[in-house]
Amino acid sequence: MTTTTALPAAALPAAALPAAALPAAALPAATFPATAVSATAHPAVTHRDHLRAAIDVSRSAPLVLNRYAVGALIVDHDGTVLATGYTGETDPAHHAEEVALAKLTPGTDLSRATLYTSLEPCTIRKSRPAPCTDLVLAAGINRVVLALREPILFADCDGVETLRQHGVQIIEMPDLAQHVRDINAHVLRPASTS
């Protein structure tokens, strides 16, 4: 069986992802390999590679002035990408983590899976009843890797602390945060004054 872990995140073939997960345009066509390679051939796929893939997924989110463009990947313990999601993919009010979790078959064991998200999962939600931290905890995910904590713009989020308090391992990669800021320049950069 081939899996997406065989390749660096920048070279994940669209065919290796779930059918509705990622538009092929989200990754540069030049990086698609001719064939998928088994996970044993390239065991060096890292948290960084998967987080970069989540950041790439966020580029598919429609840019809206009152929300962040976020991308998420759920990756099983063996490196298999189980699902991806981006903000607004299925509904304008849906968050990336929510979309990715909704694509999974009910009852999927996620106790050894990792959620890769470009932005800290929310703890306060105006558009839906359950914040993403609650959804992650309910799903049983025990590790979250993120690039950027949510800036205090729309809500004062404490997703990292909430998840840690519930025993979820958090890995932050702030060196990738500028990519997330750039993608979200539409909300993070103040309007120019003329």
Between CA 16 and CA 24 the distance in angstroms is 11
Given 89, 97, 98, 120, which residue is catalytic?
97
Alpha-helical segments (H) within 39-129 = 47-58, 96-102
- Structural tokens at position 25: 């345009």
Task: For the full predicted model, state whether its pTM sits above 0.75.
Answer: yes
- Residue 108's identity, in one-letter code, is T
Active-site residue flag, 98:
no
Chain Cα centroid distance, residue 139: 15
20-34, 92-106, 176-190: the lowest-pLDDT one: 20-34
93/91 Cα distance (integer angstroms): 5
Q: How far apart are CA 117 and CA 55, in angstroms?
A: 7
d(C-alpha 172, C-alpha 103), whole Å: 25
Answer yes or no: are the C-beta atoms of 12 and 89 closer than 8 Å.
no
* Dist. CA 146–CA 174, nearest whole Å: 8
**Mean pLDDT, residues 126-148 taken together:** 92
Strands 169-172 and 143-148: parallel
User: Higher-confidence residue: 63 or 15?
Assistant: 63
Per the model's pLDDT, the better-predicted residue between 33 and 18 turns out to be 18
Rounded to an integer, what distance in angstroms lies between the CA atom of residue 70 and that of residue 159? 15
DSSP-based three-state secondary structure for 191: coil
pLDDT at 154: 79
